[in-house]
């Protein structure tokens, strides 16, 4: 079959990443000449289904008690059964932790091929699914053709345009699954990430600080007021997080979060390749750094060579005046 299946986790809601996932799925389904089918798993799936049905041709809800809380083996078995019966050409997942863990293992169960952190997915001239992803710390882009079907791919958040709502909502059905808990691997503890009003991956504007900030206090006294004026989320480089100045959940980079904001303001960040790998999809990068040879200036659209302690107060002053 030439259908495309997208997998959503009910607890995550229909956020920007999920909307972009649906958009990528719809465009791929059109290219393949098939339908867009969605599987919504876990707690909150039933409530989420009508919203997903506005962009998908068919929605299957899998919210049995055994799937209420994410357990890797149990969820994987359920998804393999659901996708196996539908035999789609491609299975797309979002860039959340559950999807990253599930995608390669689901591809193995289905006898397909897997790819992750993709920023483009389309159909190659020969009919195979072709994806693009960044490599070498964001310095190059790899183009992969997934020869074994289905292609199971997780996508980078906010890298895809949401799908338009359909004139008629798709059908919603509940999966007939006999879910048996599989405890070979299980989640033993959960922690909730406190990251403000929105997830960092979904932020439109980000103000980020690096080692050159000099300590934890400037994040609170200098960057936080600026972020509030811009309606931005706060972030940091790995060096600032490793120093314990800010929570590790703020880390942006190759080993941290990959973000795609409209504006990324890098304050006292040199711009090492590992950090640039996390912000390469930002629409506009602006930087403040005392070193005129800092690598960040090769990638930013706007740059100021100056001590941030002189620039940030002026920015706050100008922004405050504009808002009056």
| pLDDT tens-digit series, residues 237-257 | 999 999 999 999 999 998 888
Contacts 24+ apart (CB under 8 A), 244-253: 244/216, 245/213, 245/215, 245/216, 245/219, 246/209, 246/216, 246/219, 247/194, 249/193, 249/194, 249/195, 249/200, 250/195, 250/200, 252/200, 252/206, 252/208, 252/278, 252/279, 253/277, 253/278, 253/279
- What was the pLDDT predicted at 72? 86
Instruction: Decide: 95 and 154 in contact? Cβ < 8 Å.
Output: yes
- What was the pLDDT predicted at 192? 65
- What was the pLDDT predicted at 317? 94
- What was the pLDDT predicted at 177? 85
- What was the pLDDT predicted at 28? 96
- What was the pLDDT predicted at 198? 65
Separation CA 223–CA 220 (nearest Å): 6
- What was the pLDDT predicted at 245? 96
List the domains of the chain with CATH numbers: 4-174 (3.40.50.620), 200-323 (3.40.50.1220)
Distances in whole angstroms, Cα of residue 139 to Cα of each of 93, 280, 293: 25, 9, 18
pLDDT tens-place values along the chain, 324 residues long:
799 999 999 877 888 889 999 999 999 999 999 999 999 999 889 999 999 999 999 999 998 888 888 888 999 999 999 998 889 999 999 988 889 999 999 999 999 999 999 999 999 988 899 999 988 767 788 999 999 999 999 998 778 989 888 888 899 999 988 777 777 777 777 766 554 556 788 899 999 999 999 999 999 999 999 999 999 999 999 999 999 999 999 999 988 888 989 999 999 999 998 899 899 889 999 999 999 999 999 999 999 999 999 999 999 999 999 887
Q: What is the DSSP string of 200-259?
A: GGG-SEEEEE-GGG-SSHHIIIIIHHHHHHHT-EEEE-HHHHHTTSS-GGGBBSTTSB--
- What was the pLDDT predicted at 109? 95
Which of 189, 197, 200 has its CA nearest to residue 246? 200
- What was the pLDDT predicted at 22? 95
């Amino acid at each position: 079959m030439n259908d495309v299946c997208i997998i959503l986790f009910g607890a995550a809601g229909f956020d920007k990443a999920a909307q972009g996932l649906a958009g990528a799925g719809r465009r791929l389904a059109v290219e393949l000449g098939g339908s867009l089918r969605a599987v919504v798993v876990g707690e909150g799936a039933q409530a989420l289904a009508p919203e997903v049905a506005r962009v998908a041709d068919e929605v299957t809800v899998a919210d049995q008690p055994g799937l209420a809380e994410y357990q890797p083996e149990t969820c994987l078995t359920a998804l393999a059964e659901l996708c196996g019966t539908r035999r789609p050409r491609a299975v797309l997942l979002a860039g959340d932790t559950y999807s990253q863990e599930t995608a390669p293992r689901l591809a193995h169960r289905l006898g397909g091929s897997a790819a992750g952190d993709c920023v483009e997915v389309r159909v190659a001239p020969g009919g195979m699914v072709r994806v693009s992803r960044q490599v070498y710390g964001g310095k190059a882009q790899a183009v992969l053709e997934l020869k074994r079907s289905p292609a199971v791919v997780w996508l980078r958040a906010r890298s895809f345009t949401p799908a338009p709502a359909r004139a008629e909502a798709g059908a919603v059905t509940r999966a007939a699954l006999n879910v048996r808990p599989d405890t070979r691997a299980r989640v033993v503890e959960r922690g909730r990430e406190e990251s403000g009003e929105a997830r960092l991956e979904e932020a439109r504007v980000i103000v980020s600080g690096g080692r050159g900030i000099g300590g934890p206090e400037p994040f609170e006294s200098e960057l936080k007021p600026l972020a509030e004026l811009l309606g931005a989320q706060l972030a940091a480089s790995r060096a600032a997080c490793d120093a314990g100045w800010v929570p590790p959940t703020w880390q942006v980079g190759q080993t941290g979060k990959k973000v795609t904001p409209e504006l990324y303001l890098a304050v006292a960040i040199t711009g090492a390749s590992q950090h640039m790998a996390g912000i390469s999809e930002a629409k506009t990068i602006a930087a403040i750094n005392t070193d005129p040879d800092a690598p960040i200036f090769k990638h930013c659209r706007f740059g100021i060579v100056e001590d941030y302690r002189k620039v940030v107060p002026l920015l706050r002053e100008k922004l405050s005046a504009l808002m009056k």
